């Protein structure tokens, strides 16, 4: 009998706690931001991309010029190889191979440098997006703002607000 009463009391207590938690959950304000969309659509992203293109334009030009130089030498070697001495052909082929190795190395360095700078710019943009999300959350009295969810109702989606704020910065 005592066990039955204890079990009943425990059940009632558990139900009371769950009802209290449901009530507390209703008072919390939750928001959602699709950070990937914000990073893609923010005007600062386009500005950063244009800046990177401008920054790396001289290197791209250098790589194109070197590639053209290799093509010219290869074409000249093909045309003149029938009238050239074997030793001269070997010398020219070594020069071309050296230029190809140099081009490959310069391309790899440029790609690494570009990726490094792109990551720097992305980190700056992510910090700015985070600041804007925090501002909106504090102004709106949100208890939590999520960046990932399986399903999001439009009523809690703050993505458009964040994009609007980003456009004003």
The pLDDT tens digits for 127-161 are 999 999 999 999 999 999 999 999 999 999 999 99
CATH number at 54 reads 3.30.910.20
The pLDDT tens digits for 108-129 are 999 999 999 999 999 999 999 9
Contact yes or no for 134/9 (Cβ under 8 A): no
Count: domains in the chain: 1
Quote the pTM value. 0.74
Per the structure, the complete domain to which residue 50 belongs is given by: 2-168
The three-state DSSP-derived secondary structure of 15-65 is HHHHHHHHHHHHHCCEEECCHHHHHHHCHHHHHHHHHHHHHHHHHHHHHHH
């Amino acid at each position: 009998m005592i066990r039955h009463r204890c079990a009943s009391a425990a059940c009632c207590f558990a139900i009371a706690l769950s009802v209290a938690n449901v009530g507390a959950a209703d008072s919390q304000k939750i928001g959602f931001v699709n950070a990937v969309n914000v990073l893609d659509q923010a005007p600062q992203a386009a500005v950063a991309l244009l800046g990177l293109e401008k920054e790396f334009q001289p290197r791209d030009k250098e790589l194109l010029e070197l590639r053209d130089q290799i093509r010219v030498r290869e074409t000249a070697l093909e045309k003149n190889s029938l009238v050239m001495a074997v030793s001269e052909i070997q010398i020219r082929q070594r020069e071309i191979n050296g230029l190809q190795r140099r081009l490959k190395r310069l391309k790899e360095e440029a790609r690494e440098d570009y990726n490094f700078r792109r990551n720097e710019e992305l980190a700056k943009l992510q910090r700015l997006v985070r600041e804007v999300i925090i501002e909106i959350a504090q102004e709106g009295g949100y208890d939590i703002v999520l960046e990932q969810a399986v399903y999001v109702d439009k009523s809690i989606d703050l993505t458009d607000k964040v994009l609007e704020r980003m456009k004003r910065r």
